Structure 1
Amino acid sequence: MGVFKAAAVQMRSGTSPERNAADMEALVRQAAGQGATYVQTPEMTGALVRDKEAGAAAFTTEDKDIVVATARRLAKELGIYLHIGSTAIRRADGKLANRAFLFSPDGSLIAGYDKIHMFDVDLDNGESWRESASYEPGTEAAVTDIEGTKLGFAVCYDLRFPQLFRAEAMAGAEVLTVPAAFTRQTGEAHWHVLLRARAIENGAYVVAAAQGGLHEDGRETFGHSLIVDPWGRVIAEAAHNEPGVIVAEFDPAQSLAARRKIPNLRNARDFAVNAGAGEAPRLRGAAS
């Protein structure tokens, strides 16, 4: 793909997929107007609905989903790669997937990815989440090629599992993606450092479009969409939690340059863990 402009769209999705699709369209058009040829939206672009029954009413199958249809149309009209960070999709078995989509400039679907790691946590001040109660986790990582640049997928809580990003980098990914709806509490503590770490560890660009602010369903997300270069430098940030767009120029050659300086992907070695009892498992540095 050579040098290109990438954009991260920051949103404050509510409970209506129709309203969110309209908001997404306006922001994607803004990003394309700034010259971006790859545009990423955040996790749960289609709707943030905490109540399980309300979510069941709001979410539908991929072929009927308004965000998917809108994204397909926009990608073709604007001639861009449009990455829907994720939206809730009802699978054939009736379960929900937290699913990402990447559309090509001709409107075709290039790749999809179902979030692997479920956000099942108990935070301070009584904040508790059980994503696995509503969503079926994915089982496969994904790396795809966009005009010679390889892009790896992740969603939100996946960020805390470096082995996913290492595996994608070992598969050639030069751009790692982390669309998210990080809570305000965890975002304030860890968002910047984790995104910069994933970039540094893998010598890759990281694009993280975020949800931000107080949402209709009562949750509060951190915002601060980020784009990080392969040396770990923040090259674009929405330094707030309001809806908006950030854009940065990508040169895939910078990923190769970073990996030549610090060749940790090439230097990874197999090793055993001595836990003091029983047979030690064999691990590979690339997945540790």
Structure 2
Amino acid sequence: MRIAAVQMVSSTSFEHNLQRAEALVREAAAAGAKLVALPENFAFMGRADTDKFEIAEAPGAGPAQRLMAGLAAELSVWLIAGSLPLRTGDPTRLTNSCLVYGPDGAPVARYDKIHLFRYDEPGEGAPRRYDEGAVLVAGDAPQSFLADDGERQWRVGLSICYDLRFPELYRALMHPPCELIAVPSAFTYTTGRAHWELLLRARAVENQCYVIAPAQGGLHDNSRRTWGHTMIVDPWGEVLAQQPEQEGVVTAVLDPARLDEVRRRLPCLEHRRLR
């Protein structure tokens, strides 16, 4: 199955971001992708964390969710819609949620980001602080889904950005083992330059699975700079495709023979002792 990871440089304009997401998903489908993944915060990158409330949608409703469901159905693709802020019962808190739509447009999975990012970025003057916990409530459960390509089913595990630093989440997604893990992200330039590729390849190697990591990549109109380097990695840790910066689409093919060979030659998933 050919898969595609979309890189964006999302802005403070919700409508513009949806237009760009649609165009890039269409580009990915035209390239033959049967599964397409968008980055974290694909629909909006605000100037402050509280700006998310302006465009947050109720679960199952709203223009971003309608667009994603419609695109998946029209293009007959599995669509991993990066992440969107969704309303909760608490008017002061949102979730950062990855929504997945099947080729018929029906919702098939929802994952709420478990690990909330907090970081003081160095720089001249006062450091820039990121604190997702100021407006977000954390999820509490790993989620996966089965994507059928007509020949076989692929179990796909879901995660978001900062989750990448917590290997126990990915171990939990190995019961039963996933063949593909999605990591839609918006890594900062500083942390991405230091750790992005290292962590993605480590998650692929230790779990012997493919990793698809669509990212935000460039200078945003809110003055934030994200690392980009959208990537697809194979179960041996080899980078199959990469988009360094700016908008773009990268694709690769999930090869069941490659997956089976890696797991057969080095059966470390069978050798686990701690659960």
Interval containing the TM-score (normalised by the shorter chain): over 0.9
Q: Residue type matched to 1:44 in 2? A: N
Match for residue 209 of structure 2?
A: 204
Q: Which stretch of the first structure deviates more once superposed, 49-58 or 13-22?
A: 49-58
Match for residue 265 of structure 1?
A: 269
In structure 2, the CA distance between the partners of 1:231 and 1:52, relative to structure 1 (3 Å rule), is closer
- 1:111 matched to 2:109? The reply is yes
TM-score computed with the length of structure 1 as normaliser: 0.89
Match for residue 41 of structure 2?
A: 44
Q: Which stretch of the first structure deviates more once superposed, 73-82 or 124-133?
A: 124-133
Q: Residue type matched to 2:139 in 1? A: G
Instruction: Find 1:124's aligned residue among 122, 125, 133.
Output: 122
Match for residue 98 of structure 1?
A: 96
TM-score computed with the length of structure 2 as normaliser: 0.93
Q: What's the CA shift for 1:253?
A: 3.5
Q: Unaligned regions of 5+ residues in structure 1, if any?
A: 270-283
Q: Secondary structure at the match of 1:263?
A: coil
1:1-288 residue pairs with structure 2 within 5 A?
4-94=1-91, 95-125=93-123, 126-147=127-148, 148-238=153-243, 240-269=244-273, 284=274, 286=275
CA distance in structure 1 between the partners assigned to 2:81 and 2:175 by the alignment: 24
CA distance in structure 1 between the partners assigned to 2:174 and 2:47 by the alignment: 33
Q: Residue type matched to 1:98 in 2? A: N
Q: What's the CA shift for 1:199?
A: 0.3
Q: Residue type matched to 1:166 in 2? A: R
Q: Secondary structure at the match of 1:267?
A: coil
Percent identity, aligned pairs only, is 41
- Alpha-carbon deviations, 1:118-175, whole Å to 9, x = none? 0012233223211111111000001111121100000000000011111212322110
Q: Secondary structure at the match of 1:256?
A: helix
Match for residue 281 of structure 1?
A: none
Q: What's the CA shift for 1:53?
A: 4.1
CA distance in structure 1 between the partners assigned to 2:94 and 2:61 by the alignment: 14
Q: Which stretch of the first structure deviates more once superposed, 223-232 or 168-177?
A: 168-177
Which runs of structure 1 show a deviation greater than 4 angstroms over 4 or more consecutive aligned residues? none
CA distance in structure 2 between the partners assigned to 1:57 and 1:192 by the alignment: 33
The structure whose Rg is larger is: 1
Contact 1:203–1:256 (8 Å) recurs in 2: no
CA distance in structure 2 between the partners assigned to 1:139 and 1:53 by the alignment: 22
Q: Residue type matched to 1:244 in 2? A: G
In structure 2, the CA distance between the partners of 1:52 and 1:128, relative to structure 1 (3 Å rule), is closer
In structure 2, the CA distance between the partners of 1:68 and 1:9, relative to structure 1 (3 Å rule), is same
Contact 2:113–2:139 (8 Å) recurs in 1: yes
